[in-house]
Amino acid sequence: MSGLTITLNGEPRVFPTPISVVGLLEALGLDARKVAVERNEAIVPRSTYAQTLLESGDALEIVHFIGGG
Amino acid sequence: MPDTIAVDSGDTWTVAGRSFRSRLIVGTGKYKDLEETAAAIKASGAEIVTVAVRRVNLSDPGAPMLQDFVDPKVYTYLPNTAGCFTAKDAVRTLRLAREAGGWNLVKLEVLGPPPHLYPDMMATFEAAEALIKDGFEVMVYCADDPVGAKRLEDMGCVAIMPLGAPIGSGLGLTNPAMLSMLIEQTTVPLLVDAGVGTASDAAIAMELGCDAVLLNSAIAHAKDPIRMARAMKHAVQAGRDAFLAGRMPRRMGADPSSPLTGLIR
């Protein structure tokens, strides 16, 4: 199986290729409506999750809202 | 007595074109769990809540999320920049918040180190400039510094939010005279953010003429957060009413409330 290595929230992770942002969120078990995704320090608009394919070496941040003051 | 005395429903305040009835903004941090967070916020009557943006815990993707308990359709989320120390980090964080929730109204805070966590005004200026340029409507946490606050207002910040005392200290309003001067000079909403420890502190902030009060620890760290949330709601309303009513002048001597004439002999 071919795979790609990305840095996900600071940790290296390997995923089967090809994989889109939608595929990644599904693989992680995350609800796309409740998170936001940054790829290589640029926002990935929610409307483009399906067509955004990840590449080896990408750095992704997946965030959500938590309690804060 | 007419009902209008009890509740002045027309007394709203407006920030960035949005009007609110509640003059209490509450944080969503430091609670025991999300159930308590939700109950306290409900009891506070707040319409705006501050939230932080953090990495999802990928090892527990099914964990309950804040949105499941504090509905963003009911409450206006005000994402903050807590933990950001540079303009770049603040812009990145709030761009993510905008994508997660789709709004522009944000709370900018760039803090110095512990133990004071005092607003870093130089970094705050830089971040405010970058955020405004990026289309954000910035409510800005700042020092109770009238020169710096004026500069932030002139830059286009939509609300000025000086601290009453250090974040989480509960020391109350340590410099009410300076807050009064800030209230006097500021033409956008002026909120005390940080330092409120108990209900009377919130009432004092409103009596001074603040448009609203922002607090978190005073409720979350009370022994009974739900009851304190209710106390804060009433304190803010009482302080607002007292401000609108206009306090009596202070005098150096007594002035009897009962007439001195007509006494029996």
Q: What is the C-alpha separation between B204 and B212, in angstroms, rounded?
A: 11
Q: Is pLDDT of B162 > 50?
A: yes
Radius of gyration of chain A (CA): 12
Contact A66 B77 (CB under 8 A): no
Q: What is the C-alpha separation between B72 and B63, in angstroms, rounded?
A: 18
Q: What is the pLDDT of residue A3?
A: 85
CA distance A33 to chain B (A): 7
CB-based contacts of B144, cutoff 8 Å, min separation 6: B162, B163, B164, B175, B178, B179, B182
Contact B109, B139 (CB under 8 A): no
Q: What is the C-alpha separation between B169 and B233, in angstroms, rounded?
A: 20
Q: What is the pLDDT of residue B103?
A: 81
Q: How far is CA B151 from CA A52, B71, B87, B129, B217, in A?
A: 41, 35, 17, 11, 29
Q: Where residue B83 falls among pLDDT bands split at 50, 70, 90?
A: confident
Best B28, B30, B55 residue to mutate vs chain A (most A CBs within 10 Å): B55
**Which of A18-22, B3-7, B109-113 is least confident?**
B3-7
Residue in B107, B133, B150, B233 annotated catalytic: B107
For residue range B85-100, what is the model confidence (pLDDT) as tens digits? 888 899 999 999 999 9
Q: Where residue A1 falls among pLDDT bands split at 50, 70, 90?
A: low
Q: Where residue B30 falls among pLDDT bands split at 50, 70, 90?
A: very high
Q: Strand order of the sheet with strand B105-108?
A: B105-108, B137-142, B159-162
- B27, B53, B99: residue with CB nearest A43: B99
Q: What is the C-alpha separation between B43 and A52, in angstroms, rounded?
A: 43
Q: Touching check for B58 and chain A: CB below 8 Å?
A: yes
Best B80, B91, B96 residue to mutate vs chain A (most A CBs within 10 Å): B96
Q: What is the pLDDT of residue B62?
A: 85
Q: What is the pTM of this model?
A: 0.90
Contact B81, B107 (CB under 8 A): yes
Contact B100 A69 (CB under 8 A): no
Q: Which chain A residues have a beta carbon less than 8 Å from that of B62?
A: 29
The residue assigned the tokens 């004092």 is: B204
Q: Where residue B4 falls among pLDDT bands split at 50, 70, 90?
A: very low
Contact A9 B96 (CB under 8 A): no
Whether B107 is catalytic: yes
Q: What is the C-alpha separation between A36 and A68, in angstroms, rounded?
A: 17
Q: Is pLDDT of B3 > 80?
A: no
- B58, B100, B216: residue with CB nearest A65: B100
Q: What is the pLDDT of residue B61?
A: 85
Average pLDDT on B189-210 reads 97
Q: Which chain A residues have a beta carbon less than 8 Å from that of B79?
A: 65
In the structure encoding, which two tokens stand for residue B113, read together? 């180190």
In the structure encoding, which two tokens stand for residue B57, read together? 């815990």
For residue range A3-61, what is the model confidence (pLDDT) as tens digits? 899 999 999 999 998 999 999 999 999 998 889 999 999 999 999 999 999 999 999 99
**Bridge partners of residue B214, in order along the sequence:** B25, B193
Contact B27, B214 (CB under 8 A): yes
CA distance A43 to chain B (A): 7
Q: Which chain A residues have a beta carbon less than 8 Å from that of B67?
A: 34, 64-65
Q: Give B48: exposed, middle or buried? Use CB within 10 Å, 0-12, 13-18, 19+.
A: buried
Q: Where residue B1 falls among pLDDT bands split at 50, 70, 90?
A: very low
Q: Give the residue, B80 or B10, on which the prediction is more confident.
A: B80
What are the residues of chain A with a beta carbon less than 8 Å away from any beta carbon of chain B?
8-11, 28-30, 34-38, 41, 43-46, 61-69
- B31, B92, B101: residue with CB nearest A38: B92
For residue range B246-258, what is the model confidence (pLDDT) as tens digits? 999 999 999 889 9
Q: What is the C-alpha separation between B100 and A32, in angstroms, rounded?
A: 9
